[in-house]
């Protein structure tokens, strides 16, 4: 089996995957910056109870985001393995 026959395919797939992730992370980062900027503008006008409530929401949101990232990583590994197997099978058949 010639490994160079599917080397270009793997390079292109890797570049596409990294570009997609970079775009999603960039979009999320810009959205988060906007939201945090708005919150900081309103922060000084809030009383202590409101600040505590915002802090509770932030902690819950961060915990949910971390859980989602961990779950995506676990699921992403199996999806990658499935895709790699199908690419390998198609290369072997040719």
Instruction: State how far the alpha carbon of 89 is from the alpha carbons of 1, 55, 93, in Å.
Output: 12, 51, 6
The confidence score (pLDDT) of residue 75 equals 65
CB neighbours (10 Å) of residue 93? 6
The tens digit of pLDDT for each residue in 27-84 reads 888 888 888 888 888 888 889 999 898 888 888 888 888 887 777 777 655 665 666 6
Complete DSSP assignment for 22-52: HHHHHHHHHHHHHHHHHHHHHHTTS-HHHHH
CB neighbours (10 Å) of residue 50? 12
């Amino acid at each position: 089996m010639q490994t160079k026959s599917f080397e270009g395919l793997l390079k292109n797939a890797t570049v596409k995957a990294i570009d997609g992730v970079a775009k999603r992370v960039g979009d999320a980062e810009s959205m988060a910056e906007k939201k945090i900027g708005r919150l900081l503008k309103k922060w000084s006008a809030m009383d202590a109870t409101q600040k505590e409530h915002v802090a509770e929401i932030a902690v819950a949101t961060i915990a949910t985001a971390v859980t989602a990232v961990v779950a995506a990583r676990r699921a992403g590994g199996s999806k990658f393995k499935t895709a790699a197997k199908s690419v390998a099978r198609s290369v072997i058949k040719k």
